[in-house]
């Protein structure tokens, strides 16, 4: 079942950012079907520890090809946001090293 609200959110964000949501029809179908789960996976991996990333990557490797396509499309659409978040976290870490555990 398609989550219409997530699809609308993704299409609106892509239109505003002038980025295509999908490169082709198969990718679009995967994003529509797995968009919410793919976005959750991408953000979980972004904030995961090294051990959690290994586990998430193993789970992704065992998932359906359609879900893997949705994850790749989501990573592409969120690339700028993920990069900006990395820069922000690096700045905050440099300014406040005592707030962070090294892992």
Indicate yes or no: pTM above 0.75: no
Q: Round to whole Å and give the CA distance between 68 and 5.
A: 21
> pLDDT tens digit string along 40-65?
999 999 999 999 999 999 999 999 99
What distances in angstroms separate CA 94 from CA 63, 91, 97, one per listed residue?
37, 5, 6
Q: Round to whole Å and give the CA distance between 26 and 31.
A: 9
- Show the tokens assigned to 96: 């406040």
> pLDDT tens digit string along 74-95?
888 888 888 999 999 899 989 9
């Amino acid at each position: 079942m398609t989550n219409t609200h997530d699809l609308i959110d993704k299409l609106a964000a892509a239109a505003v950012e002038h980025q295509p949501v999908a490169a082709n029809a198969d990718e679009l179908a995967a994003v529509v079907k797995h968009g919410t789960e793919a976005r959750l996976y991408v953000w979980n991996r972004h904030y995961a520890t090294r051990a959690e990333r290994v586990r998430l990557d193993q789970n992704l490797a065992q998932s359906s090809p359609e879900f893997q396509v949705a994850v790749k499309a989501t990573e592409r659409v969120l690339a700028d946001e993920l990069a900006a978040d990395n820069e922000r976290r690096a700045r905050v870490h440099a300014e406040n090293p005592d707030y962070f555990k090294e892992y």
